[in-house]
């Protein structure tokens, strides 16, 4: 994805999840499309198998967090994510329902954004072990700009006891 000449790069953290179809392939395809539409993936966590959150009557998820260098504005980033999710067959039928791919914006640099349909940092990230465990791998000292606590502290204080298992090898 070519950058505008005057653009400034910003680090964004995205959470990826899938529990429909070939979950590992869905994550790989999402990463390829993120590199095409959003920016360069600078870092990525291990893949984790996790219990579904919010609606337990579904298949387990594969999750990971990635750090991407992008020149997109927050709104452009959200539009690109929605495009990728649609391309990969995401259908929004029920809240916390099964999905081929789910991509959430966790952090956009240190910015705080509260806009229609766009909240950054993600308002629930500190309550979700499946987000905090991979974030802990990538940025344990990253300070949450609203809660004023680093990721490692948020992880230790998280009351979500759902199972989050790091996979040693990249699933194929």
Whether residue 3 has pLDDT greater than 80 = no
Catalytic residue flag (residue 23): no
Instruction: List, for residues 58-72, the tens digit of each pLDDT value.
Output: 899 999 999 999 999
Q: Is 159 exposed, middle or buried (0-12, 13-18, 19+ CB in 10 A)?
A: exposed
Instruction: List, for residues 89-140, the tens digit of each pLDDT value.
Output: 866 666 656 888 999 999 999 999 999 889 999 999 999 999 999 999 999 9
Six-digit token string for 66: 């990635």
Q: How far apart are CA 133 and CA 140, in angstroms?
A: 9
Choose, from 99, 114, 115, 152, the residue flagged as catalytic: 99
Q: Which pLDDT does position 98 carry in this prediction?
A: 80
N-term to C-term CA, the chain: 26
Catalytic residue flag (residue 90): yes
Q: Which pLDDT does position 58 carry in this prediction?
A: 81
pTM: 0.92
pLDDT, mean of residues 142-151: 97
Instruction: List, for residues 33-53, the tens digit of each pLDDT value.
Output: 999 999 999 999 999 999 887
Q: State whether residue 81 is helix, strand or coil.
A: helix
The CATH number of the structural domain formed by 10-124 is 3.30.70.560
Domain residue ranges in the chain:
10-124
Choose, from 28, 43, 104, 160, the residue flagged as catalytic: 104
Beta-bridge mates of residue 1 = none
Q: How far apart are CA 160 and CA 120, in angstroms?
A: 21
Choose, from 102, 115, 152, 160, the residue flagged as catalytic: 102
Provide the mean pLDDT of the chain: 91
Catalytic residue flag (residue 160): no
Whether residue 4 has pLDDT greater than 60 = no
Beta strands of 71-149 (E only): which ranges?
Answer: 102-108, 113-115, 118-120
Catalytic residue flag (residue 22): no
Q: How far apart are CA 66 and CA 16, in angstroms?
A: 8
């Amino acid at each position: 994805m070519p950058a505008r000449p005057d653009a400034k790069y910003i680090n964004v953290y995205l959470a990826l999840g899938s529990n429909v179809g070939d979950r590992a392939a869905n994550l790989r395809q999402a990463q390829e499309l993120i590199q095409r539409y959003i920016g360069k993936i600078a870092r990525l966590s291990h893949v984790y198998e996790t219990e579904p959150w919010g609606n337990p009557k579904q298949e387990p998820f594969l999750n990971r967090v990635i750090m991407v260098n992008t020149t997109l504005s927050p709104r452009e980033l959200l539009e690109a994510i929605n495009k990728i999710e649609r391309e990969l067959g995401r259908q929004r039928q029920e809240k916390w329902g099964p999905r081929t791919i789910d991509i959430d914006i966790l952090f956009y640099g240190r910015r705080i954004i509260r806009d229609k349909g766009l909240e950054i940092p993600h308002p629930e990230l500190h309550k979700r072990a499946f987000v905090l465990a991979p974030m802990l791998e990538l940025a344990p000292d990253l300070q949450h700009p609203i809660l004023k606590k680093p990721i490692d502290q948020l992880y230790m204080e998280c009351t979500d006891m759902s199972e989050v298992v790091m996979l040693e090898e990249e699933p194929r």
